[in-house]
Amino acid sequence: MKIDLAGQAALLKLTEVDLELNQIKAQLQALLDSPELKTLQSDLSSSAEELLVARTEFENLQTSVRRSEEDIRLVTERLVRDRERLNATSSPKDAIGIQGEIESLGRRKDELESIELELLEQLEDSQKKLELATVKRAELQAQMTDLQERLTAEIDAVKARGRKATADRLILVDKIPGEVLKKYENLAAKQVAVGKIVDRACNACHMVISSSALDQLSKLPEDEIGSCPECQAIIVR
């Protein structure tokens, strides 16, 4: 296969550009699969769940406190009415009955007030939990915004390098005859496709080449490409 020296240089450069393109592809994939992003996504989804649980608990407690206040209000109203009735009655028998009811309402009111006190303590704890969950979620959301911005910037930079390498590749490919390019593509799909002889070794596979094979390679015309007897890579001058 014939290819002039400029074409041979382009072929060698093409291996570098293709190597870079492969690295770019891997870097892009690594950025898209960012483990940091995955961790943060899972943290965000569990924080959303925590926040929902905390908010529901807080709202349920608020409802219980309101109900308890209403119960106390009703008992207090009945107590006020009973005391008025007690003051108004002239029957000692009625007075004893009302007095008994007042005592039992008083005990009920004490019970309700201690229940309310407990509920208010729970509400206070629940509010703290809700505040913490809200702050935590906001922090995670801020982290996510930062990470996405950083990843987008990195992805853009890698893509820009990819566009440059792709443009370089087109220029190089133009300098290489079709049949040599085809041979290159076939080789490049499975191995380092192009090498040079450096210190009697092929620098594609790093194997030392026998003297007779070196002899044959050196006898080839300048515009004729040879192949490495060890790895079949195209050997350029």
Question: Coil, helix or strand for 17?
Answer: helix
Residue with tokens 């300098």: 175
What is the nearest approach in angstroms of Zn ion to the Cβ of residue 233? 5
Residue 218, classified by CB atoms within 10 Å of its CB into exposed (0-12), middle (13-18) or buried (19+), is exposed
Considering only the stretches 13-21, 34-42, 84-92, 198-206, report the one whose residues sit in contact with Zn ion under the rule CB under 5 A.
198-206
What is the nearest approach in angstroms of Zn ion to the Cβ of residue 19? 16
Considering only the stretches 13-21, 41-49, 165-173, 200-208, report the one whose residues sit in contact with Zn ion under the rule CB under 5 A.
200-208
What is the nearest approach in angstroms of Zn ion to the Cβ of residue 178? 24
For residues 172 and 217, which CB has a smaller minimum distance to Zn ion in the complex?
217
Tell me how many residues contact Zn ion (CB under 5 A). 7
The only residue of 11, 228, 234, 236 in contact with Zn ion, by rule CB under 5 A: 228
Q: Answer yes or no whether residue 230 interacts with Zn ion by CB under 5 A.
A: yes
Compute the distance between CA of residue 12 and CA of residue 233 in angstroms, rounded to an integer.
Answer: 11
For residues 47 and 232, which CB has a smaller minimum distance to Zn ion in the complex?
232
Considering only the stretches 45-53, 68-76, 82-90, 194-202, report the one whose residues sit in contact with Zn ion under the rule CB under 5 A.
194-202
Q: Which long-range contacts (CB under 8 A, 24 or more apart) does 215-222 make?
A: 222/5
Compute the distance between CA of residue 71 and CA of residue 59 in angstroms, rounded to an integer.
Answer: 19
Q: Answer yes or no whether residue 233 interacts with Zn ion by CB under 5 A.
A: yes
Residue of 48, 229, 20 whose CA lies nearest to 133: 48
Compute the distance between CA of residue 152 and CA of residue 106 in angstroms, rounded to an integer.
Answer: 68
Residues that bind Zn ion (CB under 5 A): 202, 204-205, 228, 230-231, 233
